[in-house]
Amino acid sequence: MKHTLTLIALAALSLGAQAADLTFSGQAISHNDKIVIDFRVAAGGSVSLWTDSWQSGLNFDPQLFVASGGVIVHHNDDNESDSLASAGAGYYDAGLQFTAAAAGSYRLVLNASSNDARGTTLAQGFVYDGDTPIKLADWNQPSYDINANDQKGGFWRLHLGGVEQAAAVPEPAGWMLMLPGLLALSLIGRRRR
């Protein structure tokens, strides 16, 4: 009986830690917007991350950075992997595949191509961090084709394969929008006590 209970407990734990395929999407507004997603991976897990936002030049040219412990461990600007291209990513989309050496948390940053990292850590920031935001509809990204009038949309979509869990991290502006609501809820809770 004890052996059976142990097997049931192990099976339940393994179900909770199984890898999943997840998709996130949204709308970038400015040339220096950064989409940040935290995800967890099991040791030895095979992870694939790719965008299919480019859509034949209708949207900005994305790039991906993946960090572990704040250190950038993977980067891709344009998709150079045939296996990721067959999953719906285009030539100007970004794609990464890697095997996690250890179980742990990773942070992914998706931003416009040419907004490169200033160093080897996320804390060092990105090239456009100090710029006044330029709306994507008005910005000519470096890979912009003046004859095609491309790269004017801000739609982004990111696919994650082989991750245990993932969540988008709100930008500071998002926190500022949520702060009044959180304060109001706190006041209501205090009054009820």
Residues 41, 96: Cα–Cα separation, whole Å: 14
pLDDT tens per residue across all 193 residues of the chain:
333 333 333 333 344 457 789 999 999 999 999 999 999 999 899 998 988 887 777 777 889 999 999 999 999 888 665 556 556 677 788 888 889 888 999 999 999 888 999 999 999 999 999 999 999 888 877 766 666 666 678 899 999 999 998 999 986 554 444 556 656 666 666 666 6
Closest listed residue to residue 112, CA positions, set 28, 182, 14: 28
3-state percent breakdown (helix, strand, coil) of the chain, nearest 5: 25, 35, 40
Residues 64, 123: Cα–Cα separation, whole Å: 16
List the domain boundaries for the chain: 17-187
* Residue 53 tokens, joined: 């936002």
> Strand 20-27's sheet: what is its strand order?
20-27, 155-163, 46-51, 95-99
Are the beta carbons of 61 and 54 closer than 8 angstroms? Answer: yes
| pTM for the model | 0.76
Q: Class assignment of domain 17-187?
A: mainly beta
